[in-house]
């Protein structure tokens, strides 16, 4: 994003000075915070009932609104502010959070702001709400957040040896496993969050005794030391499911983590450090930030390194370094490969079997080593 912290600090100070001179409020909704906190009614629920419910909107679109509202409310809760009383700074902070911390694409963030703005303009138009017609923090923020710079910048080119050195500095076993998994298998952050113990087969007697559910997904039947990544689990963006092999190195990394993983009833492979719950997308990004910044922070020419870098490096390695057939790369990424319809279970099994047999030996013989 082009607006740097120093520039923003100067601009904010100038705006505050002018606002004070003219007796204007830069945060006019703050005065309604306490009232909204005390009220039982949910402003977003009213918008959904009176606007969305009256329109012919697909279920997927309704679910998209629910997801955005939930994410916005979580963000505002972290800011100790009611989600119906944002300032311009809150909206800009949310946009940065979605772009930088959660590694969303600019178009995705724009769409989230559009959905929030639809709710906000409803509040402006309905006399039930105190939102003034002459103040819309979402519209203001959208004009001041620059998305084009993020979109056009390329990730930095990090030599393999430098990646190895960075990984050596990652001392937490879980964080090292997350970064290695994304680099070597190209998984998205949400796919790492959604990975279940049943989705991983690791041949180790102690591990299998400790985790009876390990590798129990039917898609893994007869396939050892492999990971199944479903496409239809909520939050996963892949167009197709994929079964990916583990090489000896990644198998060892995951084994070391699973042997010290907290004992809980949670089905997820990776758990939060304190509450031992399923990770969120930003939780996946944090180990990358800790390991790769400030050295690989955003520059004039490059994006900052985030969890998406693993998928980028994975794709570039197989496409450029190994010159692998593009259809096989699509399969390993979870993109649409071939013309086979996979609506039925039998078609999914055939799809996975066809491509997995093509990549299993090739992958294990040629995948790069991180020396972890």
Summarised one tens digit per residue, pLDDT across range 209-265 is: 999 999 999 999 999 999 999 988 887 878 889 999 999 999 999 999 999 999 999
CA distances from 282 to 4, 65, 97, 125, 132 (A): 22, 20, 9, 34, 33
pLDDT of residue 336 exceeding 80, the answer is no
Phi-psi region of 23 (alpha: psi -120 to 50; beta: other; left: phi over 0): left
Q: What pLDDT shows up at residue 147?
A: 73
Instruction: Count Cβ atoms within 10 A of the Cβ of residue 258 and give its class: 0-12 exposed, 13-18 middle, 19 or more buried.
Output: buried
* Omega of the bond leading into 294 within 30 degrees of 0 (cis): yes
Would you place residue 149 in the very low, low, confident or very high pLDDT band (cuts 50, 70, 90)? low
pLDDT of the residue at 148: 59
User: What is the pLDDT, as a whole number, of residue 7?
Assistant: 60
Tell whether domain 160-366 is in CATH 1.10.443.10: yes
348-359 pLDDT tens trace: 778 888 899 999
Percent of the chain topping pLDDT 70: 93
Boundaries of CATH 1.10.443.10 in the chain? Answer: 160-366
| pLDDT band at residue 153 under the 50/70/90 scheme | confident
pLDDT over 60 (residue 340): no
In the structure encoding, which two tokens stand for residue 329, read together? 């790369």
Confidence of residue 278 (pLDDT cuts 50, 70, 90): very high
**φ and ψ of 19, to 5 deg:** -60, -40
Distance CA 160, CA 314 (A): 11
The angle formed by the CA atoms of residues 241, 244 and 246, to the nearest 5 degrees, is 155
Phi, psi (deg, nearest 5) at residue 35: -65, -45
Task: Quote the tokens at residue 295.
Answer: 């050295």
Mean of pLDDT over the chain: 90
- Write down the pLDDT at residue 344: 55
pLDDT at 66: 95
- The pLDDT of residue 152 is 63
**3 falls in which pLDDT band (50, 70, 90)?**
very low
Q: Based on the number of CB atoms within 10 Å of its own CB, is 152 exposed (0-12), middle (13-18) or buried (19 or more)?
A: exposed
pLDDT exceeds 70 at position 313: yes
β-strand pairing of 226-229 with 200-201:
antiparallel
Residue range 285-311, pLDDT digits in tens: 999 999 999 999 888 888 889 999 999
| Phi, psi (degrees; rounded to nearest 5) at 268 | -75, 145
> What pLDDT does 2 receive?
42
pLDDT digit string (tens) for 80-126?
Answer: 999 999 999 999 999 988 887 776 778 889 999 999 999 999 999 99
* pTM for the model: 0.67
Residue 242, strand partner residues: 229
Q: Is the pLDDT of residue 151 over 70?
A: no
Averaged pLDDT, 330-336: 89
pLDDT of residue 34: 93
Of residues 338 and 225, more confidently modeled = 225
pLDDT of 1 higher than 80: no
């Amino acid at each position: 994003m082009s607006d740097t912290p120093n520039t923003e600090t100067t601009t904010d100070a100038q705006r505050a000075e002018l606002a004070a001179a003219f007796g204007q409020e830069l945060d006019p909704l703050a005065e309604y915070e306490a009232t909204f906190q005390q009220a039982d009614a949910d402003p977003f629920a009213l918008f959904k009932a009176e606007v969305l419910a009256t329109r012919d909107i697909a279920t997927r679109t309704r679910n998209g609104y629910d997801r955005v509202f939930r994410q916005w409310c979580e963000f505002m809760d972290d800011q100790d502010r009611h989600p119906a009383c944002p300032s311009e700074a809150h909206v800009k902070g949310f946009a940065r959070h979605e772009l930088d911390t959660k590694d969303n694409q600019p178009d995705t963030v724009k769409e989230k702001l559009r959905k929030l703005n639809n709710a906000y303009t409803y509040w402006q138009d309905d006399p039930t709400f105190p939102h003034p017609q002459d103040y819309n923090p979402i519209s203001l923020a959208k004009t001041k957040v620059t998305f084009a710079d993020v979109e056009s910048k390329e990730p930095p080119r990090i030599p393999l040896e430098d990646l190895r050195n960075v990984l050596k500095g990652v001392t937490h076993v879980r964080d090292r496993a997350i970064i290695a998994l994304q680099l070597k298998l190209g998984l998205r952050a949400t796919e790492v969050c959604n990975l279940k113990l049943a989705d991983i087969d690791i041949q180790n007697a102690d591990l299998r005794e400790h985790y009876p559910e390990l590798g129990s997904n039917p898609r893994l039947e007869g396939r050892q030391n492999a990971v199944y990544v479903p496409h239809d689990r909520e939050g996963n963006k892949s167009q197709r499911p994929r079964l990916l092999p583990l090489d000896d190195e990644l198998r060892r990394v995951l084994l070391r983590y699973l042997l010290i993983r907290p004992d809980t009833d949670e089905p997820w492979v990776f758990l939060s450090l304190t509450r031992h719950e399923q990770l969120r997308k930003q939780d996946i990004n944090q180990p990358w930030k800790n390991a790769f910044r400030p050295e690989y922070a955003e520059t004039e020419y490059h994006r900052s390194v985030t969890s998406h870098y693993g998928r980028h490096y994975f794709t570039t390695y197989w496409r450029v370094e190994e010159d692998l057939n593009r259809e096989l790369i699509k399969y390993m990424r979870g993109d649409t490969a071939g013309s086979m319809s996979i609506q039925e279970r039998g078609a999914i099994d055939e799809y996975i079997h066809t491509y997995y047999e093509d990549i299993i030996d090739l992958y294990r013989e040629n995948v790069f080593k991180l020396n972890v």
